[in-house]
Amino acid sequence: MLADVDATVLENRRLSEHYSVLVLDAPPIAAVTQPGQFVMLKPAQGSDPLLRRPFSVFEILRGPAGEPAAISILNKRAGVGTALLYDVEPGTTIRCLGPLGKPFEAVRPPAEAWMVAGGVGLAPFVTLATRLEELGTPATLFYGARTASELYYVELFEALGVRTVLSTEDGTRGVRGRVTAPLRDTLSATPDTTDIRLYACGPTPMMRAVARLAADHRRPCDVSLEQVMGCGLGGCYSCVVLTTLPGGTPHFVRSCIEGPVFDARHLVWEALEG
């Protein structure tokens, strides 16, 4: 059930100059959020900035009795709204609407789940990894960032039983280069008989490269898109992405309600990259 919560900021963990994790007191949302779903946050009171911003639910945090009590979001400072949220102090109230969007479908064993994250694209994968652990699905995270200090929460994934394959563009941790390089190698080294589903989130060129690799290796691939959104509920038609079904003509669909998770084969990638 959708809830609009005046959520108190319980914590704002500043991970670096650019990244922070904002913990929000939002039990009704924490209780029903599915892997990969998102919330719409109002960065400040009043009308400037006017609109809410979409954020993947990063963690679902539990209270003393194990009850879902709070959610966190992984925020990267990029514009006016994200800068306000980066600066916000504990005790502040933030309007939080959610959960929204179609969740990831977690595969079950013996299938394997391979998550591919670039930078802030890590955000939707904690909830997915948690579900995969519950299902007993073998999971791998390919995670790339610019530099070692921007690879966050690796231990959290390892604690969830996820095998991690790391990469940094400057080579300070893991494989040097883009995350798609180790992904390519691992895909090539894996027998066709292993049933694998890929899940990707990150910069559009990265997701497109993952989608190509998936297609080359005939692996299903779901991507979680980040679009500019007005409402998150299907009212405004601003967050559309061009999709196409086999034999069909390209068609704009709303990523807030038809997504944010899409089958990579259905997306017209040229249109996404503008």
Partner 1 sequence: MDLSVSIGSLRLANPLIAASGCFGYGVEYAGAVDLAALGAVAVKGLFLAAREGHPPPRIVETPSGMLNAIGLQGIGVHRFVAERLPELRRHGAVVIVNICGTTIDEYVELARILSDAEGVAALELNISCPNIKEGGITFGCSLTGTHAVVSAVRKVTRLPVIPKLTPNVTDVASFARAAEEAGADAVSLVNTFLAMAIDVETRRPRLSNIVGGLSGPAIRPIAVRMVYECRQAVRLPIIGMGGIANTTDVLEFLIAGATAVQIGTANFVDPLLWSGVLEGLRAYMERHRIGAIGELTGSLDTSRREHAWISS
Query: Which residues make up the interface to partner 1 (CB under 8 A)?
Result: 1-2, 4, 42, 47-52, 80, 95, 97, 227-228, 230-231, 233-242, 251-252, 257, 271
Instruction: Between 42 and 77, name the residue whose CB sits nearer to partner 1.
Output: 42
* The pairing of beta strand 53-56 with beta strand 221-224: unpaired
Asked if residue 90 lies in contact with residue 120, where contact means CB atoms within 8 angstroms, the answer is: no
Give the shortest CB-252-to-partner 1 separation in angstroms: 6
Give the shortest CB-106-to-partner 1 separation in angstroms: 23
Phi, psi (degrees; rounded to nearest 5) at 184: -60, -50
The two three-digit tokens of residue 218, written as one number? 């005939």
CA nearest to 126, candidates 135, 117, 90: 117
Q: If DSSP codes are grouped into helix, strand and coil, which group holds residue 39?
A: strand
* Strand ranges for the chain from DSSP E: 3-14, 19-25, 38-41, 53-56, 59-62, 68-76, 93-100, 112-118, 139-145, 163-168, 175-176, 196-201, 221-224, 240-243, 251-254, 261-263
Instruction: Between 88 and 196, name the residue whose CB sits nearer to partner 1.
Output: 88
Instruction: Between 48 and 192, name the residue whose CB sits nearer to partner 1.
Output: 48
Instruction: Between 95 and 178, name the residue whose CB sits nearer to partner 1.
Output: 95
* Angle of the 180-188 helix axis to the 204-216 helix axis, nearest 10: 10
Asked if residue 128 lies in contact with residue 113, where contact means CB atoms within 8 angstroms, the answer is: yes
**Token pair 């691939």 is at which residue?**
221
Instruction: Between 206 and 231, name the residue whose CB sits nearer to partner 1.
Output: 231
Give the shortest CB-228-to-partner 1 separation in angstroms: 6
Give the shortest CB-51-to-partner 1 separation in angstroms: 6
Give the shortest CB-3-to-partner 1 separation in angstroms: 9
Instruction: Between 3 and 135, name the residue whose CB sits nearer to partner 1.
Output: 3
Instruction: Between 68 and 230, name the residue whose CB sits nearer to partner 1.
Output: 230
Whether residue 260 has a cis bond before it, omega within 30° of 0: yes
Give the shortest CB-253-to-partner 1 separation in angstroms: 10
Give the shortest CB-49-to-partner 1 separation in angstroms: 6
